[in-house]
Structure 1
Amino acid sequence: MSHQPVNSHQPIVFEEWKTADGAMIAVARLNTPKALNSLSLEMIRQLTPQLKRWAEDDNVRAVWIEAEGDRAFCAGGDIVALYRSMTEPQSGSGASEGIAFFTEEYEMDYLIHSFPKPVVCWGHGIVMGGGIGIMAGASHRVVTEASKLAMPESSIGLYPDVAAGWFLNRTPGRTGLFLGLTGARMNAADALFVGLADRFIKHDLKAAVVADLTAHNWQGKDAFAVVGSVLRQHENQSTDALPESPVRTHFDEINRVTDADSLTEMVAQMMELSNGEGWLAKATRPLEAASPTSLALCWQHLRNCRLDSLSEVLDKELTLSKNCLSKGEFVEGVRALLIDKDKQPRWRYASLAEMDSEWIDSFFEN
């Protein structure tokens, strides 16, 4: 089904697709393609109440979340806007807008995870950071031949959040730890392998998927089963386009280099791979420029959350993120990578070996 832009100036467009039995599939379309659909506080404040209304509306059978444009579903949170709110005196908001952003983002993520109806997320193109936060909670997570997923927060002085303490602890072996530390890019097959996606469907079949969902009579049927059946049918038509999974291919090597008694030892083992060729070298190379603080936060956070519930993880992440806003590493990382673009961040510690453990402990304190 093609769509016509509605209120195209809005950062999120809401639509309703009528089904054969007169019910509807509710649609949320992220609509800032020039910014790679990066998630702003305004977008969160529009999407959260709309999701709550759809949850209560008996005529809504399922929710469909997609994005405008072909490049990205969502490249993450709008961290440049956060940076400006914290560093420009005229904004007057200091860290308060950042705290509001993370608080409300995590509430939205939890709402999607616990939504009482099917949520289909069409994760086409770039899906990073806050984009994975939206996608991870959906009941039916679709990736395409163009999907590129990553949690690259260590490059900007942050850490993998948006419930990463929950979903990166549920991946095969130690792949979640590897992906969190390196920010390595995953393709569609990788996302399926590590459990961040459920279905691979070619992007040019999207209109047919929507047509089949709207053609259904949903009355008296299990809505989750209806969605699953339609997606499975189109996945079966897409197998010829599924790429190889580098994470699966290199699974044993990933587990080998993440087998260490300390983070310093682990990162040293991982960085030995960065001098070579191929996917593993490319995946581990960003470790050299990453914030040592971020690496330590990722390592400790995943260890702390192994047995936690989703809500417990998000509570811990809110504490961590508030401290990241106030301690300078995040601001410096965004400055170096996205504002001045000198790619020369002045991290508080130059290496893990120099780092004071009390510094890391302070991030986990309320």
Structure 2
Amino acid sequence: MAPTRRFYEWRFDAVIPSLQSEGLVLAEVNGCLGLITLNRPQALNALSLAMIRDMTALLSAWADDPRIQAVAVLGAGREGKPAAFCAGGDIRFFHQAALAGDDALDAFFTEEYALNHLIHQFPKPYIALMDGVVMGGGMGISQGAKLRVLTEHSKLAMPETNIGLFPDVGGGWFLSRCPGHSGEWLALTGQAIGAGDAIELGLGDVFVKSGELPAIIDGLRTGVQDSAEHVVATVMERADLAPVAEHWASRALINRHFKAESVQALFASLEADTDPWARQTLATLRKRSPLMMAVTLEQIRRARGMSLADDLRMERDLVHRCFHLRPGAASETVEGIRALAVDKDHAPKWNPATIDGVRREDVEAFFQSPWTVAGHPLRALA
């Protein structure tokens, strides 16, 4: 096998395009495998625009390169710290760019959503090692994977309503396809779930114990990888039984309440229920942006009948409205990020402050595209 390994090593540089994120994305080739490591552990591997561009360049090159038959993606860790695959997009950048009127903010979302689509449509096995925190943008670069690998440390969530946003990166598409009304529950509450629930809800595929990950990664990085089947087998040979789904027992309550036609009806349903789960869920929702919960519920309901490409175009419209319907500090999203990550007072001043103040026309305004069909920044997605 040694001559084969030397042959693969000899051609490494031929299949790795130049990267621009200054080491925040690392790329390796081992045999037929392209390996991507998100290397921003001090920020839980949150995505920057340069990182998105590097991933896009790598996947675009590898999709067309017959020497690459599979791709794996993982997040770099910090010794002695909890694992993180990817905590999402760089929300501090969102805040700064929105206040400064920086065009890079528009580029970020256009290119991120195009990357999400590329991953879902990638023609070769794409494996996501989803150890630790997998939130927001981290879900966007993992949900399209052919093999979504979870551990006991996996913590999946789409917590955008907590910052006055909505579950983007294709969240409308993949959450709306969860069983029953669990997609609405995850979208509105931002509830984090573990491996057992993720697999039950169709948001993960296979469980491995975190103690097995070093051997898996070593096998991907240094073992003989001469076929896509062998790459997948490197993971699957260490697969284990998934843990029990922690929240699955609440599915009847989730379906009963989150089938509500509106957020106002959802609140009324929860308020009439004395079950501790309902009380806790109601308390969580009362901390979220009333306006963006209403937008999010509408998003999930619309996305259920959409293709992924159409959903991503809708989400591109929505995120534009998040920052431009009320520019600058008046934006719900800018205010939510300020409260969570900038001033860290955890006391956002939502407008309106309660769900009763949300008007139907306020919600519908988010779904009015600022672009023509021909002029849409994601018009090429199919």
TM-score by length of 2: 0.83
2:117 to 110, 131, 134: 110
Aligned equivalents of 2:90 and 2:266: distance in 1? 31
Of residues 148, 157, 163, the one that matches 1:156 is 163
Task: State the distance in 2 between where 1:273 and 1:125 align.
Answer: 34
Aligned counterparts of 1:226 and 1:272: Cα–Cα separation in 2: 54
Q: 1:33 is matched with which residue: 22, 41, 45?
A: 41
1:354 is the counterpart of 2:366 = no
Letter of the structure 2 residue corresponding to residue 203 of structure 1: S
CA distance 1:28–1:217, change in 2 (3 Å): closer
Match of 2:346 among 313, 319, 343: 343
Change (3 A) 1:271 1:34: farther
Report what 2:183 is aligned to. Answer: 176
Question: 2: CA distance between counterparts of 1:262 and 1:45?
Answer: 38
Aligned match of 2:154? 147
Distance 1:292 1:272, change over 3 A: same
Q: How many residues align?
A: 340
Q: Give CA-to-partner distance per residue, 1:214-261, whole Å, 9 cap, x none.
A: 656645xxx3x54444433311xx32xx43212211111111121323
Partner of 2:291: 293
Structure 1 position 305, deviation (Å): 1.5
Distance of 2:280 and 2:88 partners within structure 1:
21
What is the identity, as a one-letter code, of the residue corresponding to 1:150?
A
Secondary structure of the corresponding residue to residue 348 of structure 1: coil
Matched, 1:363 2:366: yes
**What SS does the aligned partner of 1:260 have?**
coil
Matching residue within 307, 315, 318 for 1:317: 315
How far did residue 48 of structure 1 move? 0.4
Which runs of 5 or more residues in structure 1 are unaligned? 1-6, 18-22, 89-93
Aligned-partner SS, 1:137 = coil
- Are the structure 2 counterparts of residues 348 and 199 from structure 1 closer, same or farther at C-alpha, using a change threshold of 3 Å? same
Q: Which residue of 2 aligns with 1:261?
A: 261
**The residue matched to 1:308 in structure 2 has which SS?**
coil
CA-CA distance at 1:198 after TM superposition: 0.6
| Partner SS for 2:368 | coil
Residues 360/64 of structure 1: CA separation in 2 closer, same or farther (3 Å cut): same
Q: Residue 300 of structure 2 aligns to which amino acid in structure 1?
A: L
| Pairwise CA RMSD | 2.2
Q: How does 1:15-164 map to 2 (within 5 A)?
A: 15-17=28-30, 23-69=31-77, 70-88=82-100, 94-164=101-171
Residue 7 of structure 2 corresponds to none
State the alpha-carbon separation in 2 of the partners of residues 126 and 251 from structure 1: 23
Could you report, residue by residue, the CA deviation over 1:299-322 in whole angstroms, capped at 9, with x for unpaired residues?
Answer: 101111111111010000000011
CA pair 95-296 structure 1, distance change in 2 beyond 3 A = farther
The Cα of 1:263 is off from its aligned counterpart by 2.1
Shift of 1:42: 1.2
Give the conservation status (yes or no) of the 8 Å contact 1:162–1:314.
yes
TM superposition shift of 1:364: 0.6
Match of 2:243 in 1: 243
Aligned-pair identity in percent equals 39
Distance apart, 1:82 and its partner CA: 1.4
TM-score (ref. length: structure 1): 0.87
- Is the 1:119–1:138 contact (alpha carbons within 8 Å) kept by the matching residues of 2? yes
Task: State the secondary structure of the residue aligned to 2:305.
Answer: coil
Equivalence for 1:201: 208
One-letter code of the match for 2:60?
A: K
How far has the Cα of 1:31 moved from its partner? 0.6
List runs of 5+ in structure 2 lacking aligned partners.
1-19, 370-382
Aligned equivalents of 1:46, 1:98: Cα separation in 2: 17
In the other structure, the counterpart of 2:380 is none
Alpha-carbon distance change, 212 to 58 in structure 1, aligned in 2, over 3 angstroms: same
Q: Letter of the aligned partner of 1:179 in structure 2? A: L
1:115–1:344 distance in 2 versus 1, CA, 3 Å: same
Maintained 8 Å contact 1:36/1:75:
yes
| Alpha carbons 1:130, 1:162 under 8 Å: kept | yes
The 8 Å contact of residues 98 and 325 in structure 1, kept in 2 or not, is answered as no
Could you tell me which residue of structure 2 aligns to residue 234 of structure 1? 238
Aligned ranges 1:322-337 → 2 under 5 Å:
322-326=320-324, 327=326, 328-337=331-340
